Chain A
Amino acid sequence: MTDLAIAANGLRKSYGDKVVLDGVDLTVPEGTIFSLLGPNGAGKTTAVKILSTLVSPDPGTGDIHIGGHDLATAPQAVRAAIGVTGQFSAVDGLITGEENMLLMADLHHLSKREGRRVAAELLERFDLVEAAKKPASTYSGGMKRRLDIAMTLVGSPRIIFLDEPTTGLDPRSRHNMWQIIRQLVTGGVTVFLTTQYLDEADELADRIAVLNNGKIAAQGTAEELKRLIPGGHVRLRFTDPAAYQSAALTLREATRDDEALALQLPSDGSQRELRSILDWLDSTHIEADELTVHTPDLDDVFFALTGGTDKPKETVR
Chain B
Amino acid sequence: MSSLALAVRDSSTMLRRNLLHARRYPSLTLNLLLTPIILLLLFVYIFGNTMSAGIGGGGRSAYIAYLVPGLLLMTIGSTTIGTAVSVSNDMTEGIIARFRTMAIHRGSVLIGHVIGSVLQSIASVVLVGAVAVAIGFRSKDAGVLEWVAAFGLLVLFALALTWIAVGMGLISPNAEAASNNALPMILLPLLSSAFVPVDSMPGWFRPIAEYQPFTPAIETLRGLLLGTDIGNNGWLAVAWCLGLTVLGYFWSTSKFNSDPK
Using CB atoms and an 8 Å cutoff, list the residues of chain A in contact with chain B.
Answer: 52-56, 76-77, 79-80, 82, 84, 86, 88-95, 99, 103, 106-109, 135, 148, 151-152, 155
Q: Please, how many angstroms separate the alpha-carbon atoms of A103 and B260 in the complex?
A: 23
Q: Please, how many angstroms separate the alpha-carbon atoms of A86 and B260 in the complex?
A: 14
Among the listed B95, B97, B102, which residue makes an inter-chain contact with A79, where contact means beta carbons less than 8 Å apart? B102
Contacts of A53 in B (CB 8 A): 100-101
- Say whether B102 contacts A106, CB under 8 Å: no
The stretch of B17-25, B44-52, B174-182, B234-242 in contact with A is B17-25
- Say whether A54 contacts B97, CB under 8 Å: yes
B103 at the interface (CB under 8 A from A): yes
Residue of B nearest to A103 (CB): B17
21 contacts across the A-B interface (CB closer than 8 A): A53-B100, A54-B97, A54-B259, A55-B259, A80-B103, A82-B101, A84-B97, A84-B98, A84-B101, A89-B94, A90-B94, A90-B97, A91-B95, A92-B17, A93-B93, A94-B21, A95-B21, A106-B16, A107-B99, A107-B104, A155-B102
Contacts of B21 in A (CB 8 A): 94-95
- Say whether A107 contacts B259, CB under 8 Å: no
- Say whether A79 contacts B9, CB under 8 Å: no
Q: Please, how many angstroms separate the alpha-carbon atoms of A77 and B98 in the complex?
A: 16
Q: Please, how many angstroms separate the alpha-carbon atoms of A59 and B102 in the complex?
A: 24
Using CB atoms and an 8 Å cutoff, list the residues of chain B in contact with chain A.
Answer: 1, 9-10, 13, 16-17, 20-21, 24-25, 93-95, 97-104, 259-260
- Say whether B101 contacts A99, CB under 8 Å: no
Given A54-B260, A56-B259 in contact, is the A92-B95 Cβ separation under 8 Å?
yes
Q: Please, how many angstroms separate the alpha-carbon atoms of A151 and B98 in the complex?
A: 10
- Say whether B94 contacts A86, CB under 8 Å: yes
> Looking at chain B's contact residues, is the secondary structure mostly helix, strand, loop, or mixed?
helix
| Most chain A CB atoms below 10 A, which of B9, B17, B95, B99 | B95
- Say whether A109 contacts B25, CB under 8 Å: no
- Say whether B101 contacts A79, CB under 8 Å: yes
- Say whether B94 contacts A88, CB under 8 Å: yes
- Say whether A76 contacts B101, CB under 8 Å: no
- Give the distance to chain A from B83, nearest Cβ to Cβ, in Å: 15
Contacts of B24 in A (CB 8 A): 94-95, 135
Q: Please, how many angstroms separate the alpha-carbon atoms of A82 and B10 in the complex?
A: 18
Contacts of B99 in A (CB 8 A): 107
Residue of B nearest to A51 (CB): B101
Residue of B nearest to A107 (CB): B104
Residue of B nearest to A77 (CB): B103
Q: Please, how many angstroms separate the alpha-carbon atoms of A77 and B101 in the complex?
A: 11
Q: Please, how many angstroms separate the alpha-carbon atoms of A106 and B260 in the complex?
A: 25
- Give the distance to chain B from A75, nearest Cβ to Cβ, in Å: 9
Residue of A nearest to B1 (CB): A109
Among the listed B1, B25, B100, which residue makes an inter-chain contact with A54, where contact means beta carbons less than 8 Å apart? B100
- Give the distance to chain A from B154, nearest Cβ to Cβ, in Å: 28
Among the listed B9, B20, B93, which residue makes an inter-chain contact with A109, where contact means beta carbons less than 8 Å apart? B9
- Give the distance to chain B from A148, nearest Cβ to Cβ, in Å: 8
- Give the distance to chain B from A189, nearest Cβ to Cβ, in Å: 16
Contacts of A108 in B (CB 8 A): 102
Contacts of A76 in B (CB 8 A): 103
- Say whether A79 contacts B98, CB under 8 Å: no
Q: Please, how many angstroms separate the alpha-carbon atoms of A80 and B25 in the complex?
A: 32
- Say whether A55 contacts B17, CB under 8 Å: no
- Give the distance to chain A from B97, nearest Cβ to Cβ, in Å: 6
Residue of B nearest to A78 (CB): B103
Residue of B nearest to A84 (CB): B101
Contacts of A80 in B (CB 8 A): 103
Contacts of A54 in B (CB 8 A): 97, 100-101, 259-260
Q: Please, how many angstroms separate the alpha-carbon atoms of A97 and B25 in the complex?
A: 16
- Give the distance to chain A from B18, nearest Cβ to Cβ, in Å: 10
Given A56-B259, A95-B24, A109-B9 in contact, is the A79-B103 Cβ separation under 8 Å?
yes
Contacts of A95 in B (CB 8 A): 17, 20-21, 24
- Give the distance to chain B from A207, nearest Cβ to Cβ, in Å: 23
Given A55-B259, A86-B98, A99-B20 in contact, is the A92-B13 Cβ separation under 8 Å?
no
Contacts of B104 in A (CB 8 A): 107
Q: Please, how many angstroms separate the alpha-carbon atoms of A79 and B17 in the complex?
A: 21
